[in-house]
Structure 1
């Protein structure tokens, strides 16, 4: 994994934007950040974030009812955190 700082920033920003737009689910975003930005395996990334591998697997698969603390733990290494965004209304 040899991304430049600029490439890493662009990738993180694009994943964050897709999350905000609703075109990317949280679990998929976490998986992409883990694999594409860090290149770490689940066990390595979970250890780094101080969460269990099981919790990480559940987050990445969109399973369970994750705590805000766990979600923030996986986003923190990328300078991100969970937040509130305004819903976009789709008018027909």
Structure 2
């Protein structure tokens, strides 16, 4: 196989950095970090704003209807924003604030039930 053919095959297998597939992968990995407690909601918002939407704070704040200072404070963990503001901030990313079980076994049971479309209990 020629080098040109190898390069072409590799380009087909790897999604471009700005592809929907890549954005979804970034989002799911970042959400997993939040659920595992290794990333805060503010860090998640900052990461997704930069890496998925590729927007600066000023532009994103204008999009969601909050001040740039409020957005910065959320991202840096300097304020505990209320649910309404957080939902406003996460809406362009297709996310909303919700309750997540503290115990892994509860989370596992819920996810299994959801994937099999069964009742939890």
Does residue 1:81 correspond to 2:96, yes or no?
Answer: yes
For the pair shown, which has the larger CA radius of gyration, 1 or 2? 2
Could you list the runs of 5+ residues in structure 1 that have no partner in the other structure? none
Could you list the runs of 5+ residues in structure 2 that have no partner in the other structure? 1-16, 105-121
Q: Counterpart in 1 of 2:81?
A: 66
Q: Write the deviation string for residues 36-66 of structure 1: whole angstroms up to 9, x where unpaired.
A: 1111110000001111111101101101231
Q: CA RMSD in A?
A: 1.3
Normalised by the size of structure 2, how large is the TM-score? 0.68
CA positional deviation for 1:74? 1.6
Does residue 1:37 correspond to 2:42, yes or no?
Answer: no
Instruction: Give runs of ≥4 in structure 1 deviating > 4 Å.
Output: none
Q: Distance in 1 between matches of 2:30 and 2:88?
A: 17
Q: Counterpart in 1 of 2:66?
A: 51
